[in-house]
Structure 1
Amino acid sequence: MKYEKMMSNVEKHRLLERTDNKGWKKWGPYLSERQWGTVREDYSMNGDAWNYVSHDLSRSKAYRWGEDGIGGISDNKQHICFAFAFWNHKDPILKERLFGLTNNEGNHGEDVKELYYYLDSTPTHSYMKMLYKYPHAAFPYDQLKNENRKRGKGEAEFELLDTGVFDQNAYFDIFIEYAKVEKDDILIRVHAYNRGTKSAPLTILPTLWFRNTWSWGYQEFEKKPMLSGISTRQVEVSHQFFPRMKLYCKDAVELIFTENNSNNKRLYGTDNETPYVKDGFHDYIIKDKKDAVNPNKIGTKVAARYQKMIKGGDSINICLRFTTKTNLQNPFESFEETFEERIKDADDFYSILQEEVHHEEAKKVQRQAFAGMMWSKQFYYYNINQWLKGDPKMPIEFHKRDYERNASWHHAYMANILSMPDKWEYPWFAAWDLAFHTVTLAKIDPDFAKRQLSVVLREYYMHPNGQIPAYEWNFSDVNPPVHAWATLKVYEHDKKMNNGKGDIVFLERVFHKLLLNFTWWVNQKDNDGNNIFGGGFLGLDNIGVFDRNAQIPGVKLQQADATGWMAIYTLNMLRIAMEIALERPAYQDMASKFFEHFLHIAAAINTPMAKSGLGLWDEDDQFYYDKIFTHNNQTLFLKIRSLVGLIPLCAVEVIDDEMLQKLPDFKRRLDWILANRPDLAALISRWYEPGKGETHLLSLLRGHRMKMVFKRLFDENEFLSEHGIRSLSKYHLENPYHFHLHGERLTVTYTPGESDLSIMGGNSNWRGPIWFPLNYLIIDALHKYSSYYGEHYEVEYPTDSGEIITLKEAAFQISERLIEIFLHRNGNRPCDGGVSKLSEDPHFNGYYQFYEYFHGDNGKGLGASHQTGWTGLVADLIAEVAERNRKRGD
């Protein structure tokens, strides 16, 4: 029934018109929120990206690779951009972009210092809404910098609310909305509310501009685009790649024009190409320099000026229209009616998705999580070859980079709409983040999710050797291989949405590329060829006692998580091959290959170390650990109870007998392996012993070992927090782990909040906090075990509580703990960290920020405050719990 309802929905039909980023998706929230301080814009000789373009310089420098703005949109190649600027008549800087601290300025790394919320968006961006909170007082730039500079790693971050600028509600709530009349016809509306009691002035500058493509010396962009003013309320848009367009600005005071060219005089002390430069609006509005803007009303950057004194408790409303319809006599006819229609379309679309979610606050959390996923799309542009060499024309003398970051990736040419972790603190794709994003994206736009998984496997992303680029700061770093896992999740959801018909073409295309990546892992990260892997930091930053990426003389590291990830990868590839083989029988050979490969990894990780020198299971502690080999032939377990030892738990797959019978060649080969290699067959769980519904279980863990890991996992004095699964066992609070390396004593202790040291950067911590992606992976694995064992496998949850429940219910209870991070309990939300204004104020408590990770004891949101990317997985958990509740009649 849900499928039929979805197909009748207006928004669903828009999605079906085009599956790529054209048509209704041509225009969307594709601007970054921070282009400055990125690797792409760094043309320094030493790779100091954070200092090469700072927030202060960003208003004056024309970016090379992308654009940023507040609440903005652009076309899918970011040629034409639109966003908002604000001034409260007290700030020293025109608010054209969001402010935050650099990695060096923040006491816990880079950190946006603004309050903004993504409230709604359909998948085609036919309707979008966000909220920006702007204080009446001068924005406290220096206070935020100075106070955070004083604070050490052991202290909390000094936040915008801590400055007092939101006391007495002396701020504006600025709601920004978009509604598409048609694909290239966009209505724009702003409601600005004065939440204070006193009147306060506000200038709003809706700004339209072209990304600068003409200053770098490339022939295809020699034809410079043009914006031209007509009266005070119309802008004509001329660009070689677009039909003629207009921006209609209802009741604007005036139109002001400049060029999106660098202010070379301010940046470099050299002459400007034109008297009208990028920061001209700042000079015109803040400094009252009349000659800073072009009196001829032409340029490549234009703003409509709205200036209002807003009474306390009152609001103003402004309206604009950006369209290919250039001869409208009344461009704002049916303006409000269209907004009402698009809001109804959005409500109808989400009401079908949420029909089983009866908890009203959980429903709001889920919808804003989806909104955050949609708003976190970004046009990502990075041509490594051009970036390394420099452009034919440059504003600075540039010969060669002494520090050639990503120099081995000359082939990489990225120019796509990508799902970002977030668009301020992480405005660049990260391969393993993106894989988790697609699981949530598939719920609302499976085609976009499939394209995201495909794009980073293309030949202009993936290295010729098969490595998937990790992230902008170092493409050659190694992220966990979760792409195949995400591919299966997206495939299964898409299949469910299409009445049981799976997209085998998608699966097959991805499978071929993943074969290259799998081979890269086997060749590069299994140095001894024994199926024990050592991938490096694997995205878990400081979880180890030392930087696991470092090459330490005389020390070789073997990793439980790397080996577990490869076991997961192998099972995922096995499952994908089986799915394809149902239609293309030749893939049974590939299924056999991955089945046998999994057996060899299982043998390697589980063989007692005393027998082979391999094995990562410690019989004394009954847990998986990393292991090192020293120069004097010592073999030592690094006995840190962390997610590293839980990853092998997630290497599980359940195969039903009906599917197996449809693949006779695979079954025959499988039976031969099990019969002729009993040593391998004995290491995997319950193959010959069918489970619930005639299923077969493949997993690294079985019997006693599985029970011991579950015992730790569900122990509230170890991994199980009131708010989910911790990344490090609380055992290490009273029992720190110490390790001596080359005369230095290194220590790992349970740190439930922000990191108290810097390994792999200063803004991440895997030594105690709760991270949604790994929690989700563990929950997913528990459901797989439950699908095999059924109601017969029970666990004590929590450990030592005396409460006995099924494994399935344990998985749901962990999900509920994670969801409750966002829900009010006794007037407070755990994610707000005890800040009463966030939890209790009616103008705050209906909005949600989706943090990077959460405090291991109290659930406070930490790290990046808008990382809806993988924290958006809460939307999936809400759906799964709601379905469980429906089935049992709750």
Structure 2
Amino acid sequence: MIAERERIYERADNKGWKKWGPYLSDRAWGTVREDYSPYGDAWNFVTHDMARSRAYRWGEEGIGGISDNKGHICFALGFWNHKDNILKERFFGLSGPEGNHGEDVKELYYYLDSTPTHSYMKMLYKYPQQEYPYNRLVIETARRGRQEPEFELLDTGIFAQDEYFDIFIEYAKADQNDWLVTVTAHNRSAQDAPLTLLPTIWFRNTWSWGYDQYNSRPILNGIGKSQIEVNHRQLGKYKLYCEDADALLFCDNDTNTERLYGRPNVAKYPKDGINNYITSGGKKGFINPNQIGTKASAQYTRQVPAGGSTSIRLRFSDQTLLAQPDPARPFADFDEIWQKRLTETEGFYNHLQRNVTDPELRAIQRQAYAGMLWNKQFYYYNVNEWLKGDPKMPVPFQGRVYARNEGWKHMYTANILSMPDKWEYPWFAAWDLAFHTLTLARLDPDFAKRQLAVILREYYMHPNGQIPAYEWNFGDVNPPVHAWATWKVYEIDKEQNGVGDVGFLERVFHKLLLNFTWWVNRKDVEGNNIFGGGFLGLDNIGVFDRSQPLPMGGRIEQADGTGWMAMYTLNMLRIACEISLTRPSYQDMASKFFEHFLHIASAMNNLGKQHISLWDEVDQFYYDVLHTPDQNARLLKIRSMVGLIPLFAVEILDEDLLSKLPDFKRRVEWVLTNRPDLASLVSRWHEPGKGETHLLSLLRGHRMKMILKRMFDETEFLSDYGIRALSKYHEKTPYQFELNSEIFQVRYVAAESEMSMFGGNSNWRGPIWFPVNFLLIDSLLKFYQYYGDDFEIEYPTNSGQVMSVKEATVLVAERLISIFRRGPDGRIPAYGFDEKMQHDPHFQGLYLFYEYFHGDVGAGLGANHQTGWTGLVADLIEYVYKYRTQNVAVLEAGK
């Protein structure tokens, strides 16, 4: 048994070997949880400038940081290049209002490696040697409008002369509560350069808020220059051993109220004390000379030679490793343990990536896995407490005129969650999380299952059944993809372990029933099985903000909302069938969802006298329908992902499964016999497909072919890098809607958003998004499972090339993967036209998994580290390799 796999299954609840991990956020300032302003001005209540001086209430941040699973003891790295006026203790970026396309991190860092239990981890931070251009980044971005690209750190030229440090941060666990740490800084410049390294340990502030149970402070105590004793009443005693440190520096993780609010400090040496001491050249009065506090750093000041490096080692342990007077003892077995963990890590990934032989694809896939694992975070938020404010605060609480998330007082979260991106999205996003679990399931199935289960727990899900969307507005509506993710995780887990976790399916199924009922009761306004839902994660894809009341009144019936719900019914049907194999009573639930799907399929295609169909026979495409207050209805003819989403509603049931579910089979046959109006809408149920399968889908062969014809057209949806979210047709022919002499327009925009809808930081009017591309691929494979090789399509449209659906699907997957591969021109599409990232030797083999990608050239856009759903590239690589391997085997057999 592979050692890391054994550790994964020791404890599946973030304890044991998972108790400590990279659970710090990359950013805590500017978040909703830290906002105690009357009007919900989160971006300005705690800014980046304030962050070094203000104690956080709900979480902590740091560079390359780790913590325990409740965020009590935190460790991260700080740096000083001897030029900046502040320490680099946190990543800098622009707030939503400051960025010309929303919030935007302005740093270069890469998550390079990690095992699922974090027994080994590695990341890289690129730190400039010249003064960090904070002001220039703010000023230049403010000058730029939404029509212009973002002004990035590389654009400032600060890396042009290679005057920077490559700082590698690595961790290896000797045991469950015993960490080894190595920090290595490489000077990439032609001149010697000074660098101060500040590995820092501190306690999350639980004592300043007026709650009696948290009044007692934990203690950090210095011993000489090499040890920091850690005493926490819940976690016990630890020691941080700092090999060859210059000094130990102490202050308290308390707000500097004097600096921020002009009020006397409670703590004599507040949170920014170490920052002030270092940047002032060692002036007295900022740090505690008695070496005691709740925040402490080991100081290492080094002159790093040109082209050379410096390295430091630390060890954090709950064991007594030091026998005086031998300070080397904690490091005696350091190298041996380190090498053992490296070997185990290679063994784990060699097994996991055994199907992938291409070195470049292995590197892309492994870094995608690393980003997934580094982007875990302790997420803490008691909404009821937060709304009321705390008994004691740095400044008196003025109450909330705008009480964000007021309807979610039941929410009390204190879990390790997978984040989309711990800087730009340092809070869970429900539909993002569903996609994360697929990639996580290949690494750690139990963690993936736990993620899906926890988001449906009673302290997350609203009592009415709604799943919370994300921190800025839990009440927003995300696409209902959790049943789909549940089934996919179940399949991956079963494939890896040989047995399916039916107990997991059953547990989640009951919670999904509540959510499904919420959708039916809240988002089917007319009770006709046609759904709204709002923006549904697709931000600015429509002509109007679909989450707000329409400017002319009325309502929209959504092709995507209805397609998602049709998909939801089929996902629930498949789960119910699987549970029924061991719990026959669930056949009733399978029958319920089968019939519900038929009613949605009927509604999508024929809405009766008062309505029009979402399917347009002229364009052969699905559109939203606008119902105005005067009882008129019209199709909003925007060729977008909205019209492709009905493809997602597809499921295959084979004859063998049906034979094991006689009650369900009998009910299905009764409905199809006695309701021919419904049976006619199901794609050829009575005609077995390839391998004696039956197809449930919103689309019959003809309609599917017509949608695929448009989707695979390179002048419309098909880009060199995947499927665009909006047809390129709208580049020259924008969709226009006139209302009271005002023109509302949807135009193809391949890059960042040119408008402020939803903050302007995401764009669905042209770019390529991995999650919906992945769903398209998954759905097309199901169609192929039914139709087989006999059902052929033209790919690309108008090319004259005819192939099976599966062959076309593989080619789409390869286009998506090519975003990260070096092409024939020697360039990686994701990095656009940046020469440094494309060709500099010290930037090679470093991958950023952006939020979305340019619809024409594949360049990365949005959040730099949205490893969550873009991490699905790891699954696509696995899929493509499996297909290619199978085809080679078939060809060899034919020979």
Residue type of the alignment partner of 2:681: L
Equivalent position of 1:789 in the other structure: 787
Query: What are the residue-to-residue correspondences of 1:161-310 with 2, within 5 Å?
Result: 161-288=154-281, 289-310=283-304
**Equivalent-residue separation in structure 1 for 2:267 and 2:602 (angstroms):** 69
Which residue number corresponds to residue 536 of structure 2?
Answer: 538
Identity within the alignment, %:
65
Shift of 1:425: 0.2
CA deviation profile, 1:376-395 (whole Å, cap 9, x unmatched): 00000000000000111112
2:893 maps to which residue? none
* C-alpha separation in 1, matches of 2:740 and 2:871: 42
Q: Does 1:738 align with 2:731?
A: no
Distance 1:270 1:667 in 2: 73
SS at match of 1:655: strand
User: How far off its partner does 1:889 sit?
Assistant: 2.3
1:634 shift after superposition? 1.6
In the alignment, structure 1 residue 50 sits paired with structure 2 residue 43: yes
> What letter is aligned with 1:11?
E
Q: Does 1:727 align with 2:721?
A: no
- 1:681 aligns with 679
Query: Following the alignment from structure 2 to structure 1, what is the Cα–Cα distance between the partners of residues 398 and 153?
Result: 41
State how far apart, in whole Å, the 2-side matches of 1:611 and 1:524 are.
24
Matches of residues 577-592 of structure 1 in structure 2 within 5 Å?
577-592=576-591
1:118 aligns with 2:111: yes
The residue that corresponds to 1:314 in the other structure is 308
Provide the rounded CA distance (Å) in 2 between the counterparts of 1:554 and 1:147. 40
1:261-316 deviations in Å (ceiling 9; x for gaps): 00000111000012100000111000233210000000000000000011110000
Following superposition, the deviation at residue 793 of structure 1 comes to 1.1
> For 1:384-533, what aligned pairs fall within 5 Å after superposition?
384-499=383-498, 501-533=499-531
1:131 to 110, 124, 132: 124
Q: Tell me, yes or no, if structure 1 residue 856 matches structure 2 residue 855.
A: yes
- Asked whether the equivalents of residues 431 and 469 of structure 1 are also in contact (C-alpha less than 8 Å), the reply is yes
Q: Distance in 2 between matches of 1:613 and 1:69?
A: 55
- For residues 424-470 of structure 1, what are the alpha-carbon distances to aligned partners after superposition, in whole Å with 9 as ceiling and x for unaligned? 00000000000000011001100000000000100000000000000
Match of 1:648 in 2: 646
| Aligned partners of 1:258 and 1:302 also within 8 Å | yes
In structure 1, the residue matched to 2:337 is: 338
- Is the 2:437–2:452 contact (alpha carbons within 8 Å) kept by the matching residues of 1? yes
Shift in Å at residue 399 of structure 1? 4.2
Could you say if the C-alpha distance between residues 773 and 390 of structure 1 is closer, same or farther in structure 2, counting changes exceeding 3 Å? same
Q: Does 1:756 align with 2:754?
A: yes
* 2:829 paired residue number: 830
Per-residue deviation, 1:64? 0.2
Q: Is the CA contact (8 Å cut-off) linking 2:421 and 2:868 kept in structure 1?
A: yes
Say which SS state the counterpart of residue 168 (structure 2) adopts: strand
Matches within 5 A, 1:759-778: 759-778=757-776
Superposition TM-score, scaled by structure 1 size: 0.98
Residue type at the aligned position of 2:68: D
Rounded to whole Å, the distance in 2 between the matches of 1:412 and 1:604 is: 36
Offset of residue 631 of structure 1: 1.7
Which residue, 23, 26, 29 being the options, matches 2:19?
A: 26
Residue pair 2:612, 2:633 contacting (<8 A) in 1 also: no
Q: Which residue of 2 aligns with 1:670?
A: 668
Query: What's 2:600 paired with?
Result: 601
Offset of 1:836 from its aligned partner? 1.4
Q: Does the 8 Å contact 2:37/2:398 carry over to 1?
A: no
Q: Specify the alignment match of 2:66 in structure 1.
A: 73
Moved more, 629-638 or 479-488: 629-638
Report the equivalent of 2:892. none
Equivalent residue, structure 1, for 2:558: 559
Give a deviation string over 1:772-814, Cα, whole Å, max 9, x none: 0000000000000001111111110000000111100111110
Q: Please say which of residues 39-48 and 347-356 is displaced more in the overlay.
A: 347-356
Asked whether the equivalents of residues 244 and 326 of structure 1 are also in contact (C-alpha less than 8 Å), the reply is no
For 2:17, what is the secondary structure of its paired residue?
helix
In structure 1, the residue matched to 2:102 is: 109
1:672-711 alignment, distance < 5 Å: 672-711=670-709
Q: Unaligned regions of 5+ residues in structure 1, if any?
A: 1-7
**SS of corresponding position for 1:821:** coil
Matched, 1:100 2:99: no
Encode CA deviations 1:30-53: one digit per residue, 9 max, x unaligned: 000000000000000010000110
> What residue identity is the alignment partner of 2:213?
E
Distance in 1 separating the partners of 2:629 and 2:386: 41
Distance in structure 2 (CA, Å) of the matches to 1:361 and 1:708: 36
Deviation for aligned residue 1:409: 0.5
| Preserved contact between residue 853 and residue 859 of structure 2 (Cα < 8 Å) | yes
1:810 is aligned to: 808
Partner residue in 2 for 1:5:
none
| Native 8 Å contact 2:38 2:398 kept in 1 | no
- Separation of aligned partners in 2, 1:84 and 1:743: 57
Paired letter, 2:441: A
Instruction: Give 4+ residue runs of structure 1 displaced > 4 Å after superposition.
Output: 609-612
Counterpart CA distance in 1 for 2:670 and 2:128 is: 71
Shift of 1:222: 1.8
TM-superposed CA distance for 1:611, in Å, is 5.0
Please list the CA deviations of residues 329-353 of structure 1 after superposition, one character each: whole Å capped at 9, or x if unmatched: 3000121221111111111101111
The question of whether the paired residues in 1 share the 8 Å contact of 2:817 and 2:876 is answered with yes
Which residue of structure 2 aligns with residue 11 of structure 1? Answer: 4
Matched, 1:323 2:317: yes
Is residue 661 from structure 1 mapped to residue 659 from structure 2 by the alignment?
yes
Matched AA of 1:878: I
Q: Secondary structure at the match of 2:184?
A: strand
SS in 2 for 1:563: helix
Letter in 2 for 1:715: D
> Once the 2 structures are TM-superposed, how far is the Cα of residue 884 of structure 1 from its aligned partner?
1.2
For residue 610 of structure 1, report the CA deviation from its aligned partner. Answer: 7.0
- CA distance in structure 2 between the partners assigned to 1:728 and 1:148 by the alignment: 27
Cα distance in 1, alignment partners of residues 247 and 697 from structure 2: 67
- 2:574 and 2:321 map into 1 onto residues whose CA distance is 57
Q: Does 1:868 align with 2:867?
A: yes
Give the CA RMSD over aligned residues: 0.9
Shift of 1:327: 4.0
Q: Note if 1:576 corresponds to 2:569.
A: no
Tell me, what secondary structure is at the counterpart of 1:486? Answer: helix
SS in structure 1 opposite 2:568?
Answer: helix
Please list the CA deviations of residues 746-781 of structure 1 after superposition, one character each: whole Å capped at 9, or x if unmatched. Answer: 110000000011111120000000000000000000
Cα deviation code 1:34-78 (max 9, x no counterpart): 000000000000100001100000000000000000000000000
Does the CA contact (< 8 Å) of 1:605 and 1:614 recur in 2?
no
Q: Which moved more, 1:228-237 or 1:337-346?
A: 337-346
Cα shift readout 1:717-744 (whole Å, capped 9, x = no counterpart): 0100000000000000111000013432
Aligned length: 881
Secondary structure in structure 2 of the residue aligned to 1:701: coil
- Per the alignment, residue 878 of structure 1 pairs with 877
CA–CA distance in 2 between the matches of 1:856 and 1:55? 33
In 2, Cα distance between equivalents of 1:351 and 1:741: 60
1:624 aligns with 2:622: yes
Amino acid in structure 2 at the alignment position of 1:447: D
Q: Which SS does the other structure have where 1:169 is aligned?
A: coil
For residue 243 of structure 1, report the CA deviation from its aligned partner: 2.2
In the TM superposition, what whole-angstrom CA distance separates every residue of 1:675-728 from its partner, at most 9, and x where no partner exists? Answer: 010000000112110001100000000122111001011100010000000000
Q: TM-score, normalised by structure 2?
A: 0.98
Q: 2:636 aligns with which of 638, 654, 671?
A: 638
Structure 2, gaps ≥5 residues long = 324-328, 890-895
1:209 Cα deviation from its structure 2 partner: 0.1
For residue 3 of structure 1, what is the aligned residue in structure 2? none
